Amino acid sequence: MNIGQASKATGVTAKMIRYYDEIDLVRPASRTDSNYREYDDRQINELRFIKRARSLGFSMEEITQLLSLWRDRGRPSREVKAIADRHVADLDARIGEMQAMADTLRHLSHCCAGDDRPDCPILADLTEGKEPSDPVKRRPSFNR
């Protein structure tokens, strides 16, 4: 398969396939006499693997580790599980942070009259410069 066909078969753009090749994430493609890349089933499977791992939010470093483990048929599954568990913990932490941001913005939006007056608790909060997850922070009260 040429790079266009590989892209279509995997959902990975040709630009990203070239990038993965440059950083040695995928095994190098063979070359035709005219120096075009040719991809075999093994490389197509690797690209699909990477695409799926990216869709689950794994970092490039994690994907490199997972690919290495996937290629090693004698690997202990505990190593794969450890990578996945660390990733889940990271996702859970980020979800918590994002929920705190959404809660803060929801509260600030609720406090904002959204009318022609210049008073705005959203701008006042941004001016204070505190993190949204700061539990000590009290929201400004604006009289409507």
The residue extents of the domains of the chain are 3-58, 78-128
Q: What is the reported pLDDT for 23?
A: 94
Q: Confidence band (pLDDT; 50, 70, 90) for 129?
A: confident
- pLDDT at 143 > cutoff 80: no
* Strand ranges, E, within the chain: 30-31, 37-38
pLDDT attached to residue 93? 98
Residue 26, Cβ density class (10 Å: 0-12 exposed, 13-18 middle, ≥19 buried): buried
Q: Looking at the domain 3-58, which fold is it?
A: Multidrug-efflux Transporter Regulator; Chain: A; Domain 2 (1.10.1660)
Place of tokens 């580790």: 65
Give me 50's structure tokens.
């990477």
Q: What is the pLDDT of residues 62-101, one digit of tens each?
A: 999 999 999 999 999 999 999 999 999 999 999 999 999 9
pLDDT band at 17 (very low <50, low <70, confident <90, very high): very high
- Give 128's pLDDT tier (boundaries 50, 70, 90): confident
Question: In 10 A of CB 19, how many CB atoms?
Answer: 14
Burial class (CB within 10 angstroms; exposed 0-12, middle 13-18, buried 19+) of 43: buried
Which residues have a Cβ under 8 Å from the Cβ of 121 and sit 6 or more positions away? 108, 111, 112, 139, 140, 142
Q: What is the pLDDT of residue 28?
A: 86
- C-alpha 91, offset from chain centre: 10
> pLDDT of 27-68, one tens digit each?
888 899 999 999 999 999 999 999 999 999 999 999 999 999
Against a cut of 0.85, is the pTM above it? Answer: no
Mean pLDDT score, 126-140: 59
- Give the largest Cα separation in the chain, rounded: 76
User: For residue 130, what pLDDT is reported?
Assistant: 65
φ and ψ at 73, to 5 degrees?
-65, -15
Q: 66: closest CA among 55, 80, 77?
A: 80
Q: What is the pLDDT of residue 7?
A: 97
